[in-house]
A and B are shown apart, each in its own frame.
Chain A
Amino acid sequence: MGRTVTGAQIIWEALIAEGTDVCFGMPGGAILPAYDALAKYKYDQQIKHVLVTHEQGASHMADGFARATGRVGVCIATSGPGALNLMTGLATANMDSVPIVAITGQVPISLLGRDGFQEADIQGVSLPITKHNYLVTNVADLGRAIKEAFYIARTGRPGPVLVDVTKDVQNAEVADFDYASIEFDLPGYKPQLLSADESSVARAAMLINEASQPVIVAGQGVSIAKAEQELRILAEKAQIPVATSLLGIGTFPATHPLSISWGGMHGEAYCNFALQECDVLVAIGARLDDRLTGAFDTFAPKAKIVHIDIDPAEMGKNLIIDTPLVGDALLTLRNLIPQVDPNEHPDWLAQIQEWKQETTDRDLLQQEEGPLNAPFICRQLWHMTDEGDATIVTDVGQHQMWEAQYFPHTKRRSLLTSGGLGTMGYALPAAIGAQMGCPQEEVWVMAGDGGFQMTMIELKTVAEQNLPVKIAIINNGFLGMVQQWQDVFYEQRYSGTPLRNPDFVKIADAYGIPGQLVSEKEDVEAAIRTAQQTDGPYLIEFRVPTEHVYPMVPAGKSNADMIRRPAPMMFHEDEE
């Protein structure tokens, strides 16, 4: 039986009915009715609202919450500037297929299109960076719009959906409201959880069975489909080495003998060798973007490509696909596995092992001497989190690549990172969302000094919520990745990259967050332990000299042209 409710109440009742127990937002004029109605639902402990410092933080928090939990993240903002501030986070989520529902206030209908105070065409602005969006101008449509938004966000290939609600809709009343009984029909959106068709699966199995140098590339789609177990069964059954994309990290244990880490612009060199030399490449839930493939027409030149993806538009978008398998990764793999013969591939695995050894010999971690560096910190953190039993949320840049290289993820959804859009400033707010979603989890922010400062105002939110988020800042005094490019391609002209940084420990202190500065290798362990033993948040500023991430594939070049770490002074002379 329905009740008479306002649009503002509908927003909260819809969110609660969809299972939202925490949302991230900030009030403002056009969303005031909704915030006024929030009090009752908060008081009844039906929903928790996290007040952000800047709306960009809200959309990243919703993103981090969604990636860590697999549930839909929710963020809220007012019209105009508030909603516009959400956009970076929505674009980030859109590129990385993260389910978010964003609720924004809009000026009253009478002011729409009249350039009213704090009016911006948010439906227009968000159109290319959301999976779908709504402008609700009639309160009778509001419940259905939110219901559709959640459905669209979490089904098929997930993504962000925005619902823009005019202020008068929030104030208007609806009689006989009953969210559960709202029905909708989306004639143009019928996502189905199906396996790829039989004949394609059979052809894929044939290719895999005939392959002598096969490689699997696992993407985030494996995790979204919850197909980690099936991925492992397939790999082990036919002894196929598994590379991941950056977002696919965690879908296959990095410590597994068949893991060949991850490939691409800054992936492991031996992984790139394997990708370039393979004769059959099975991509699962990975969109094969330019950072993974290098120049498209040079990628895996000998390989027949089998591509499993739920999104038909990904088939052949970047590469020529031999066997496209459009379907859910879990169901498709379940169909595929029985048709794949047990296999060994001893020569191929031995070859990869040789490449791996050669890569390891050049490794920075082989250097006992030398100053504190990010790879060392990442590996220490891995050891001290019981070999990776933690969620790491990285920012974007060199530290992000090093984390992915030196922290071998073995747990699903344990690395949250902005892969597609490469959004600096992502780490801290996304970690807040992840920690809100997984209160028992040890959550670490790993950020560079540049990116951290873009959103470090959310330390206020960390402090206010007293979240036990641990923060590691890798401070090299530069926008490090850009500086690396300037080193290699712009004759060391450091235009705009040196940073005049504040004292990060003092910044933390200003928010009442304890922390310390670490500049020596021998202090890393104790600092991490102190952070872990501190009940609430803790910040460590690691001061490191500048250093390059290797390998490095120049943009637009082939992965075969990757620049390697300069041949080392660190070959094990005494072992020879």
Chain B
Amino acid sequence: MSQQTDFEKHTMIAWMEDKPGVLNRVAGLFSRRNFNIESLTVGHSEQPGISRMTFVATGTPRDMRQIKTQLFKLINVTAVEDVTDRPAIQRELALIKVHADSNTRQEVVQLAELHQAEIVDVNIDSVVVQMVARPEKVDSLLTLMEHFGVVEMVRTGSVAMVRSEKTPPAYKQ
């Protein structure tokens, strides 16, 4: 069994045909093969009929190779790329509803602004902070906000894109 010590965190991108049940196939594979997935987002890609999924997985190097090759084996998956060690832009969107009354509102707003986050809704006893950033930066704002009391929170999970002019490998060679 895998040692906790050689666990790694990888960000991968998978391209797949936009057909009914494909997400089910991918999710089923993750759970059946006992892969640890931290986050998963899926949406359209630039190619009609091809969806693009970004997911963050943790495990041993063996797990990472298995995730990649097993996912690639699914008939509807057209490509899988591990972008962990590549120059990639990684972003996540978070909405955080923070407890903020007349005593603390000022401080919450300041801290949000220092994190390049936006206040998108204000109530008597709370504000909603919206942040688009690398997941670690979202973590750091969230830690601060917990000090005031997080009423409600939602994160989208990472999306990633490699910084290069290379065309995406959305079709298997």
Contact = CB atoms under 8 A, between A and B. Distances in A.
B66 A188 contact: no
Contact of A315 (B17, B69, B76): B69
Nearest to A132: B75
B172 A187 contact: yes
A187 B16 CA distance: 9
Interface string A287-326: 0000000000000000000000001110111000000000
B171 interface: yes
A312 B69 contact: yes
Contact of A188 (B24, B28, B77): B77
A127 interface: yes
Interface in A72-129: 123-124, 127-128
Interface in B7-31: 16-17, 20-21, 24-25, 28-29
B76 to A, nearest CB: 5
B75 A186 contact: yes
Name which of B16, B69, B78 has the most chain A CB atoms within 10 A of its CB.
B69
A135 B172 contact: no
A186 B21 CA distance: 16
Contact of A152 (B24, B75, B172): B75
B44 interface: no
B70 interface: yes
Contacts of B70: 313
B74 interface: yes
Interface in A151-177: 152
Name which of A123, A124, A188 has the most chain B CB atoms within 10 A of its CB.
A188
B73 interface: yes
A414 B173 CA distance: 37
B62 interface: yes
Name which of B17, B20, B73, B77 has the most chain A CB atoms within 10 A of its CB.
B73
A311 B73 contact: yes
B14 to A, nearest CB: 10
Given A124-B24, A128-B32, A132-B75, A188 B17 contact: yes
A572 interface: no
Nearest to A319: B62
B34 to A, nearest CB: 12
Nearest to A157: B73
Interface in A312-346: 312-313, 315-317
A123 B21 contact: yes
Contacts, number: 47
Contacts of B62: 316
Contacts of A152: 75
B171 A187 contact: yes
A190 interface: yes
Interface residues of A, number: 19
A470 interface: no
Contact of B28 (A128, A190, A313, A315): A128
A316 B65 CA distance: 8
Given A123-B21, A127-B25, A188 B172 contact: yes
B72 interface: yes
Nearest to B66: A317
B128 to A, nearest CB: 36
A196 to B, nearest CB: 15
Name which of A124, A128, A135, A311 has the most chain B CB atoms within 10 A of its CB.
A128
B3 to A, nearest CB: 12
Name which of A186, A313, A315 has the most chain B CB atoms within 10 A of its CB.
A313
Interface string B147-164: 000000000000000000
A189 B29 CA distance: 17
Contacts of A399: none
A137 to B, nearest CB: 9
B172 A127 contact: no
A138 to B, nearest CB: 12
B17 A313 contact: no
B75 A190 contact: no
A17 B33 CA distance: 37
A187 B78 contact: yes
Nearest to A128: B32
B74 A188 contact: yes
Given A313-B66, A313-B70, A188 B16 contact: yes
Contacts of B77: 188
A131 B75 contact: yes
Contacts of B76: 188
Nearest to B47: A187
Name which of B24, B75, B78 has the most chain A CB atoms within 10 A of its CB.
B75
A427 to B, nearest CB: 28
Interface string B37-74: 00000000000001000000000001001100110111
A252 B21 CA distance: 42
Contacts of A315: 65, 69
Interface in B72-127: 72-78
Nearest to B171: A187
Contacts of A128: 28-29, 32
A104 to B, nearest CB: 16
The 8 A-B pairs of least Cβ separation, nearest first, read: A313-B69, A188-B78, A132-B75, A189-B75, A187-B78, A312-B69, A313-B70, A188-B77
Given A188-B16, A315-B65, 18 more contacts: A127-B24, A128-B28, A187-B17, A187-B50, A187-B171, A188-B17, A188-B74, A188-B76, A188-B78, A188-B172, A189-B172, A190-B173, A311-B73, A312-B72, A312-B73, A313-B66, A313-B70, A316-B62
Interface of B: 16-17, 20-21, 24-25, 28-29, 32, 50, 62, 65-66, 69-70, 72-78, 171-173
15 contacts: A124-B24, A127-B24, A152-B75, A186-B75, A187-B50, A187-B78, A187-B172, A188-B75, A188-B76, A190-B173, A312-B72, A313-B66, A313-B73, A316-B62, A316-B66
